[in-house]
Structure 1
Amino acid sequence: VLRVSYDGLEHQEKEIFLDIACFLSTTSHHYLFKWEVEVKKLLDYRQVYPNIGMKVLIEKSLISYREGIIEMHNLLKELGKSIVREKAPKEPRKWSRLWSFKDLQKVMEINKEAKNVEAIVIEQHQEEFLQRRIKVDALSKMNRLELLILHNVNCFGTLNYISSELRYLFWDYFPFMSLPSTFHLDQLVELILHHSNIKRLWVGKKCLPNLRTLDLCHSKNLIEVPDLSEVPRLTDLILEGCTEIIQIDQSIGFLRELQYLNLKNCKKLFLNLNVIFGLSSLRSLILSGCSKLLNSKMLMDQRHTEHLENVDKNTNVIQLPLYKLLMFPFHFFSPPKPEDSLGLLLSSLSCIPCLFDLDISFCNLHQIPDEIGNLRSLEYLNLGGNEFVTLPSTIKELSNLQSLNLEHCKQLKYLPELPTIKEKTKVGYYGGLYIFYCPKLSEMEKCYSMVFSWMMQNLEVTTILSFVSHFCFVRYLSITEFGDFRFTCNLLFPQLG
């Protein structure tokens, strides 16, 4: 009966059924083939039109959907796997999909061409990573591979080639120091190499016209990000925890579609922050722990950076007038104060109309410049872990602000007037004021009054929306270590409607 249901599907629907049957995660340690959003995204990379096909599978009770999670009965999973295996039950290199570590190991040990393999998804627990290793030379012989996910798989060997059909690559603990020099990843959309051994991704320029996400977080050996001038569609660049990275190529300034830039704890990074001026689509900027970066001597007033927009279309070379080139080195002899550099950065960020999230926590900042008030589009601001005594009065100009984080500001003594909250246009908002371990904060009664007044504005504005939309809203206010007084308050809305 189950096979009859499968046989009645169209070709695209069969492909979706087989992908879900083989790859759907039954554990909680990873998320890729489990949550509806991720399942649809990965199926889309497989070019099988998931919105239509998954609807058909749900109607035929071949899959189910509950609270954002895709589910399939174990009998149906076994059916799908048996269909993939049926033409060559004992030769996994001839299958279209690989989902078992043991089967992948067989393919790698034989080390022959595996021309049918289109997708590999191997997920293991951390303990299994330490227990067994696999030599992956045969990956270079999979010319049709479109999807590769290796999670907690301990790999070694050589990688001379990656399939040019690859659209999604997730490989944590990637063991190699660079990508193969001959790769042509024209179709690649996401490149995710967490905790990798990468030192340099590539040398020179590489054309990745469809790459949207480059995530190298916690790659401890990474020392630089190469030329990205031929990666024009990049929207997310994540380098969090790359503690040895020294430089990012200046071509980052030409990424007009970049929306999310995460440089958290890139402690050795030196970057001319003028390149950020050109990131006109930037929505979220994470500079937490980058004290060296924010003290950059190379930051100039935006009025003197017109040359960043004057780019030779054929060479992507910045055309810098000679007199500016001659004057440029003198910035090293009279470096700006940290607050001056940050002020210039904040002034320039105000020209990015969609920036809503800024994190400059734990940057050893002794003063927050008045220019912070220019960032009118900000909704989330994290200033925690810095050394300032008070905030500038211009903070009240941030009328879109929903969340202000001041945790671990151990020198903070005074709170300024907080912003007047504008009417929210978004539903499902979560925000708050976070003051944890601010032991020197004084005038507690005044602080209480200001904090509760600001939070009530949030509540009143959101209550109106919640009644209209029948949503449940949660507000969290944490005020701890007020001198010797500890206070925590949770403000909760019950489910409305």
Structure 2
Amino acid sequence: MEGQTAPARGSSLKCKLDPGFQGQNNHQNVLVIGNHMSKDVLASTKPCSNHWDYEVFLSFRGADTRKNFIDHLYFALVRTGIRTFCDDYELPRGENISKELINGIHGSRISLVIFSKDYASSSWCLDELVQILHCKRTMNHIFIPIFYHVNPSDMRKQVGTFAETFTRLEEKFQEDMERVQRWRAAFTEAADCSGFDLQSDANGYEASFIGKIVEQVLYKLNPIHLNVVKHPVGLDFHVEELKTLLQLGTSTTTKLLIVGMYGMGGIGKTTLAKAVYNHICDGFEGSSCLLNVREVSEQSNGLIQLQEQLLFDILKVKILLIGNVDKGISLIKQRLHRKRVLVVLDDVDRLDQIYALARNGEWFFGPGSRVIITTRDEHLLVKLGVNYSYKVENMNHLDSLELFSWHAFNMPHPEEDFREISIAAVDYAGGLPLGLEVLGSDLRERSIIKWKTTLEKFRKSPNAQIQKIVGISFESLDHTIREVFLDIACFFTGANIEYVLKILEECGFFPDIAINILIQRSLVKIDYPNLRMHDLIGDMGKEIVRQESRHPGKRSRLWSHEDVLKVLKNHTGSEVVEGLSLNPPISEDHVISLESKAFANMKNLRLLQIKGVKNLKLKGCVEHLSKELRWICWHSCPLRFLPPRLHLENLVVLDMQYSTIKQVWKLENNVLSKLKVLNLSFCEDLTKSPNFLQVPNLEELILEGCTGLVELHDSIGYLKGLVLLNLNGCSSLMSLPKSISNLKSLKIFHMGRCFNIQNFVDRTTIIVPNRSWNPRNFLRASLHVFRSLVKLGLSNSNLLEDDFPIDFGGLSLLQDLDLSVNNFRDLPHSICHLPKLARLNLAESRSIRSISTLPANLRILFAFGCESLERMSISESRLDALVLADCYKLVDIQGFENLAFTIAVSLEGCLEQEDDIDFVKSLLKLQVGLGGGSKIPYGQEMTNGEEIEVSFEFECSQALEYVGVNECGVHLIIQREEEAGSMVMYSEKKKKMMEDDMMQDTPVTKQTRHRPHNRPMVWEYDGIVPFVSYIERNTSTFALLHSLGWLFMSYSK
């Protein structure tokens, strides 16, 4: 019993011609099953639909069974209330029987085919069978074979009486052997399907046999659907995507297919699996949804219980006590290996669960079966080798607000007085359905004051229900990975991943492996180059640390500034403390007085962060700091230098930005052999760099904004592993040492705003320019010195076109070049000699007039704020992104029409001529500003209730997915109408009237990311809204655009 999910009520679904059975005709709504069918029959045959005229169609050989078995079966079905088509009872006299039979099949939900000894002798019966099996394959039609005094094996092999019957058919239809072959194939296919056998299922007793058939029909007509959720916001889109992955009704229908869903706890995997199950379970011979596999399997005999449930759900027969898992595996394989079934295995976390229920070497189920697995562990799906993996993402903002509102206000939008605080609550939940439901329910019918206190409580101590669900993933981790997770949750969310890896590697945690596992468990994600963690997951991690002890000084990690100050002021820290972060709110600007001996008992302190403390009074010497420190991030440190007896031999990162430090360390006998990152940015009192012989393994040196720095120590040349050197804004720097030419590993070099360098020395040349800081000399010398550079920053360096070398070939590895805020008028042609350059920044170069050529491999070009730019050519480029905002004089872009693969373009404030926008046909995304020469009646006054409609007259690309509009203070709706779009601006009062009117109607079903709307909808939203339309071709799309910032609209023809 296989097939596709039926279409929506009232729509028609054409039966597609199956390649193995199709005849030569132009009618798509019927399969030609015999040359005897007239054109009248073809023309009048009903389209397939799920608006069923009958529930059961009976196909039988009348001479064998009409007056006995069929008569009893028919009336048993009718007595039970099942609408049944049986030709003797349903066909009016004088009708063309063939046409009515075909309509009867198409208009029925289930076909019962009674195979008797003489069934195959009737060409009409065989044509019926072919048509029934065709509908079984191409629509949601259920086929149940009934073997009445015949052996299914004889049917399958076509031996005995069936061999004789088909021999006679071949003689009779020798001029139409293709038709006979279709009959043979249908007979074999039918015999392979699971059904009812009079002898094996009822020992020959017909009354009992009929009872079992009726019971199965009732089950198929009224399947037990699972309860999903009360408010299925945003669910439809995911269901449709998964149904696509499951490939129902395609050429792969006969193949077994496995789809895995993964995502963090509480994201809605189980809800989605149940929704998909309900949508498609009717199209299978049997189905089972095993929920909470992880939890049940942990109980005594839990796997055996799941095996028994699986067998009962599909066979509808109570299996005797299985006894052990191995016996259960054998029973499942034996009973289900020929059945086409749907199985959902929810919340799986170990392979042995899969092996016991669905696969042990090979999958247990028959061809055409579908298995859906939900898990928090993406890697488990990889090891299992599923056909498709589907990540369940967080809900978008609009769906989140709607779901939250249903639980908080019992309507799809917030009450007006609660709108602002509702958005804050939704932001905290971060698109996690569980968090939205719990938060909304907990805040329901409370005052705004209670809302504020409750939200604050949630942030400090997560809800127990959320903690339990989200915390399951943490409990399955081993000790080392837990430590990495807690470090990220408490200190490193949002940090650069390479930065974190350096620190945690020296802690002995193998962080690259640990972070990869955390990503697979959906506990961490990388928004490259930064680590990200959902707020609720981060709060869960912090709560785990809180539970370690009632006393903050006896917890492994301290991050709450209240707890930290309490511990430091009372000297209650202990050896348990491994990490401490003092980062008070910006509003707290009072003096904080501490004694350095407060750190004395924290002998295992690995991580220390002090930020945002501008008025710190520190008594005593910081020599009490732990020898185990790997990370010191102390901004605005009041020290003038680091004490000589401070033990930093294990330190990996020293970050002392904005500090008063004048000299890093006085003595030169301390060697920090493990130090990899030294960041002294904006230490304006720093006059000279440290001796780099003390940090031989340094990889990153950041001295940006050190305006008092006069010289770099000559030992910098000994840093063989230095990868990044940032000297931006070192305006007092007088020279670069000779040894700098030894930095063969240097890949990233920033040297903007260094206006006072008097000389640059490389190994072969001493250049003493006549004027201070001649960038030409640096650029030309750099070709010989810094051949390994991949990123070079020369922003705000007074560069002119003559300052560039004729040939850039020495920087063959350069990928990122920042030439922003410079003074050249034309982009030097030598830029084209950078073969790997992918990103070029020319922003705010206000003198540049033309860009004639670009490197062939350039992918991203920033040229916003180039006020004098008039013309540019990008004919030879294949840009992914082009940002030209506020280029007011731009009149010509040559080669724009060739950018068929351009992903995003921003033209805000550009293009003075209205007709200049006809080149957007090739774009996938477009950002257009409402200023300058746009066709919006800019500045026109709008009265309350007034609306202004403006049309886009240019023809859009059929590939265009996004249109963005940037404008403050108006609410926008964009509607696509065939070849042109229209934009409507509504005033505030009009917007509110529309919104109130819509909320009184039946709520529009919203779909995550893909949102087809039946009418315009206005909503407020802060941030970027990336919508992608989910619509049929040649239909209109409506999408909300927010009134502030960058807005994106789904735009598809």
| Range into which the TM-score falls when normalised by the shorter chain | 0.7 to 0.9
Matched, 1:362 2:811: no
User: How far does the alpha carbon of each residue in 1:414-443 deviate from its partner, in whole angstroms, 9 at most, with x for none?
Assistant: 55x524415x8xxxxx5115263343x5xx
SS in 2 for 1:480: coil
Give the alignment's TM-score, normalised by structure 1: 0.72
1:157 corresponds in structure 2 to: 618
SS in 2 for 1:177: coil
Partner Cα separation in structure 2 for residue 54 and residue 304 of structure 1: 47
Give the root-mean-square deviation of aligned CA atoms. 3.9
Alignment of 1:30-429 (within 5 A): 31-32=494-495, 43-50=504-511, 64-65=523-524, 68=527, 69-71=532-534, 73=537, 76-77=540-541, 80-85=544-549, 89-90=550-551, 92-111=552-571, 114-128=574-588, 130-131=589-590, 133-138=592-597, 140-141=599-600, 142-154=602-614, 155-158=616-619, 159-161=621-623, 162-205=625-668, 206-293=670-757, 296=758, 298-300=759-761, 302-304=763-765, 335-337=769-771, 342-343=776-777, 345-366=779-800, 367-371=802-806, 373-374=808-809, 375-413=811-849, 415=851, 417-422=852-857
2:480 corresponds in structure 1 to: 12
Return the letter of the residue paired with 2:910: F
Return the letter of the residue paired with 2:709: I
Return the letter of the residue paired with 2:836: N
SS in 2 for 1:106: helix
Of 467, 480, 488, which residue of structure 1 is paired with 2:887? Answer: 480
Partner Cα separation in structure 1 for residue 563 and residue 831 of structure 2: 58
SS in 2 for 1:229: helix
SS in 2 for 1:102: helix
C-alpha contact 1:407 1:437 (8 A) present in aligned 2 = yes
Higher mean displacement: 12-21 or 156-165: 12-21
Higher relative contact order (CA 8 A, sep 6+): 1
Partner Cα separation in structure 2 for residue 192 and residue 360 of structure 1: 24
Return the letter of the residue paired with 1:278: N
2:878 corresponds in structure 1 to: 458
Structure 1 residues 177 and 256: CA distance shift in structure 2, 3 A: same
Return the letter of the residue paired with 2:732: K
Structure 1 residues 99 and 138: CA distance shift in structure 2, 3 A: farther
C-alpha contact 2:838 2:860 (8 A) present in aligned 1 = yes
Return the letter of the residue paired with 1:256: K
Return the letter of the residue paired with 2:694: E
| Offset of residue 280 of structure 1 | 0.6
C-alpha contact 1:204 1:227 (8 A) present in aligned 2 = no
User: How far does the alpha carbon of each residue in 1:267-317 deviate from its partner, in whole angstroms, 9 at most, with x for none?
Assistant: 111222533311111111111111212xx2x32464257xxxxxxxxxxxx
Structure 1 residues 372 and 133: CA distance shift in structure 2, 3 A: farther
| Offset of residue 190 of structure 1 | 1.1
| Offset of residue 249 of structure 1 | 1.1
Fraction of identical pairs, as percent: 26
SS in 1 for 2:830: helix
User: How far does the alpha carbon of each residue in 1:363-418 deviate from its partner, in whole angstroms, 9 at most, with x for none?
Assistant: 23343132562333322222333334445443332232223333344444555x52
Partner Cα separation in structure 2 for residue 73 and residue 258 of structure 1: 36
Structure 1 residues 372 and 178: CA distance shift in structure 2, 3 A: farther
C-alpha contact 1:98 1:117 (8 A) present in aligned 2 = yes
Partner Cα separation in structure 1 for residue 583 and residue 848 of structure 2: 45
C-alpha contact 1:245 1:268 (8 A) present in aligned 2 = yes
SS in 2 for 1:299: strand
Structure 1 residues 384 and 114: CA distance shift in structure 2, 3 A: same
User: How far does the alpha carbon of each residue in 1:346-365 deviate from its partner, in whole angstroms, 9 at most, with x for none?
Assistant: 33434433212222222233
SS in 2 for 1:378: coil
Structure 1 residues 302 and 436: CA distance shift in structure 2, 3 A: farther
Structure 1 residues 347 and 56: CA distance shift in structure 2, 3 A: closer
Partner Cα separation in structure 1 for residue 848 and residue 775 of structure 2: 21
Partner Cα separation in structure 2 for residue 341 and residue 4 of structure 1: 58
Of 866, 870, 880, which residue of structure 2 is paired with 1:437? Answer: 866
1:320 corresponds in structure 2 to: none
Return the letter of the residue paired with 2:878: N
Return the letter of the residue paired with 1:133: I
Partner Cα separation in structure 2 for residue 20 and residue 365 of structure 1: 42
User: How far does the alpha carbon of each residue in 1:207-243 deviate from its partner, in whole angstroms, 9 at most, with x for none?
Assistant: 1111111111122222221111231221111111222
Higher mean displacement: 281-290 or 36-45: 36-45
Return the letter of the residue paired with 1:12: T
Higher mean displacement: 114-123 or 161-170: 114-123
C-alpha contact 1:407 1:438 (8 A) present in aligned 2 = no
Q: Which has the larger radius of gyration?
A: 2
C-alpha contact 2:684 2:705 (8 A) present in aligned 1 = yes
C-alpha contact 1:177 1:198 (8 A) present in aligned 2 = yes
Return the letter of the residue paired with 2:651: L
What number of residue pairs does the alignment pair up? Answer: 424
